[in-house]
Amino acid sequence: MTVASFSALAVVTAAVLYLLALSLHALEWAMARHVEVSTASVATGTKGGVAVLDKPSDTAVRPEKADMYGRMGFSLTILAAAVNVAGIVARGIAAHRAPWGNMYEFITTAAVVVAVLYVLGVWKWHLRWLGLPVTLLGAVLNGLAATVFYVAVAPLVPALHSVWFMIHILAAIISGAAFSIGGVAAILYLVVARAERRGTVKGYLAMLPGSDGIDRISYRVLAFAFPLWTFTIAAGAIWAEYAWGRYWGWDPKETWSLVAWVVFAGYLHARATAGWRGTRAAWLAILGFALFWWNFIGVNLVFAGLHSYAGI
């Protein structure tokens, strides 16, 4: 087996492992379906959820089985992430360069960063409740990579021969991963906030932190990603000045990056404005998350721009 084929196999394996982890987390949700409104969610309710954020659900009724499946899912996620990392490292070794030169490499690395941020989050902020959406992301990203975006290992085109190749793309990958986590947390926020408004917080929702807690996690991740995304765009502009002789040329990729940036700026402002914080702000976060991936996948496949490399 060559290093390159090991890498490809590892990515497929990682996708399957994420899928298994996803199933376990789905079981976790299912096992919790009988949980009634817990003390924690009553207390968090619509406000005052400040405390639950960092140490969630200690007081919630946590059915043992759900918890077991959750822990199994998390263990499998760690394994999946490790295999995913191995795949990317092998890819870099096979290509003799940083493995971020095309869509396949970008998307697999983004999946790893999502998983790593999540594992760190579980360790530091008890974020295991994000297991279901995170494993879904891992399975979808690696699955898409293996099926749609796969390209064989190859050297870089001259346009990518630059130190900015590492800086710009790695920053984009990390911001994209963080936007994704913030985005799925915003979706969960909408679900939980709606249940809270209707007084129907039960089942697994009752085991989540209250809507305030989810909102806060979503915000923290996005507040980390936004400066990094700004840096990504700035680094891209510096690189563009070297490579193309202009720092900004309204290339489709540049344009959509700016659109996503502006939407996230809108999100940060919305959080601080009466009438906008909460639901509307969450929708903006989701929109920004969607725009990031549209900018990555849609723009590359639909428009011919300067950011198209290696066919896909």
Partner 1 sequence: MAHEDAQEDTVRGADDTDRLDEAVPPDGSVQPEPEVDEDGLTADDPGIAGSRTRRPAAEVAPPGGFVGSLKFAWAVLTSMRTAIILLLLLAVAAIPGGILPQRPVNPFAVTTWLANHTKTGPFLDKIGMFDAYHTPWFSSIYLLLFVSLVGCIVPRTSVYLRALRAPAAAPPRPVSRMSGAVSYAASAPSEELLTRAQLAMRKRRYRVRRVGDVVCAERGYTRELGNLTFHVALLGVLMAVGYGSLLGHSGSAVVVEGQGFSNTLTQYDDISAGAAFNGQLDPFSVKLDAFHVAYETGPVQRGAAREFKADVTVTTPSGTRADSIEVNKPLSIGSSQVNLVGHGYAAVVTVRDGNGNVAYTGPVVFQPLDSNLKSVGAINVPDARPQRLGLQGYFLPTASVGQMGPVSLFPEALSPELFLTAWAGPPKAETGQPQSVFTLDTTGMTQLTQNGDLLRLKLAPGDSYVLPDGLGLVTFDGWKRWVKLQVSSTPGMGAILAFVLLAVAGMAVSLSVKPRRAWIMVSGGEAWSAGADRVDGRSGVGDEISAVAAELGLEKPPPGP
**Least Å distance between CB 141 and partner 1?**
23
**Least Å distance between CB 188 and partner 1?**
16
Q: Residue 6 or 231: which CB sits closer to partner 1?
A: 231
**Least Å distance between CB 54 and partner 1?**
6
Q: Residue 164 or 204: which CB sits closer to partner 1?
A: 164
Cα distance between residue 7 and residue 3, in whole Å: 6
Structure tokens at 111: 């999946």
DSSP of the chain, one letter per residue? --HHHHHHHHHHHHHHHHHHHHHHHHHHHHHTTT----HHHHHHTTS-GGGGGTSTTSSS---HHHHHHHHHHHHHHHHHHHHHHHHHHHHHHHHTS-S-SSHHHHHHHHHHHHHHHHHHHHHHH--GGGHHHHHHHHHHHHHHHHHTS--------GGG-SHHHHHHHHHHHHHHHHHHHHHHHHHHHHHHHHHHHHT---GGGGGSPPHHHHHHHHHHHHHHHHHHHHHHHHHHHHHHHHHHS-S----HHHHHHHHHHHHHHHHHHHTTSTTTTTHHHHHHHHHHHHHHHIIIIIHHHHS--TT--S--
**Least Å distance between CB 147 and partner 1?**
18
Q: Residue 34 or 48: which CB sits closer to partner 1?
A: 48
Q: Residue 76 or 287: which CB sits closer to partner 1?
A: 287
**Least Å distance between CB 73 and partner 1?**
26
DSSP classification of residue 311: -
**Least Å distance between CB 288 and partner 1?**
9
Q: Residue 84 or 232: which CB sits closer to partner 1?
A: 232
**Least Å distance between CB 129 and partner 1?**
17
Q: Residue 9 or 265: which CB sits closer to partner 1?
A: 265
DSSP of 21-86, one letter per residue? HHHHHHHHHHHTTT----HHHHHHTTS-GGGGGTSTTSSS---HHHHHHHHHHHHHHHHHHHHHHH
**Least Å distance between CB 309 and partner 1?**
9
Q: Residue 64 or 311: which CB sits closer to partner 1?
A: 311
Q: Residue 28 or 254: which CB sits closer to partner 1?
A: 254
